[in-house]
Homo-oligomer: A and B are copies of this chain.
Amino acid sequence: MARKQGSHADITGPKVRDAALRLFARHGFAAVSMRQIAAEVGVQAGALYLYTPDKQALLFELMRDHMEELLADWQAPDAPPTDQLEDFVRHHIRFHLDRPELVFIAYMELRNLTPENFAVIEGLRRDYEDRLEAILRAGQQSGVFAVPDTKLATMALIAMLTGVTTWYREGGRLNRAAVEGIYWDMVRKAVAA
């Protein structure tokens, strides 16, 4: 018994990725075994190595692709700082609510990356933070924002916004548009001059 009916690399490949995503998010990278991932996919553990060099690469590629998509998906519009900030906030919330599992992994599994992989992910994260900081600095200089320390404000706002994934549940008391609006209102006031 070996190759199963109707099974192909372009089906199993994504399945491996999805299973790893789901299991890493639920139980944590270190607590998930290759055999669990394989069982979720419906193959034996050995077959996973046709799709990933090792377990570490599975984690790293999930995180790297996530960060690269985050960066590719948004760039500051040509607009005043306040409008740029609103665009950033709303996009950040939407993007993160769409991918709660990836967000969870990207924030929780940093310490399970090898040093080289960690450096890559941290670089991408830094790039993202820099975009928000650039908006805050522009607003500070033009006088529409009052942010004594743009770096601190950047970290504070990102932590606040990303936190939405820890409590928001689809079909709950508030819908996405409402959540977006309320968060934007708080951010707007927090940085206002």
Contacts and interface: CB of A to CB of B under 8 A. Distances in A.
Contact of A155 (B26, B153, B157, B167): B167
B152 A174 contact: yes
A11 interface: no
A159 interface: yes
- The number of chain A residues touching the other chain, given as a range, is 35 or more
Given A111-B28, A189-B192, A155 B148 contact: no
Interface in A135-188: 148-149, 151-153, 155-160, 162-164, 166-167, 173-174, 178-179, 182-183, 185-187
Contacts of A112: 28, 31
A2 interface: no
A3 interface: no
Contacts of A148: 182, 185
A77 to B, nearest CB: 24
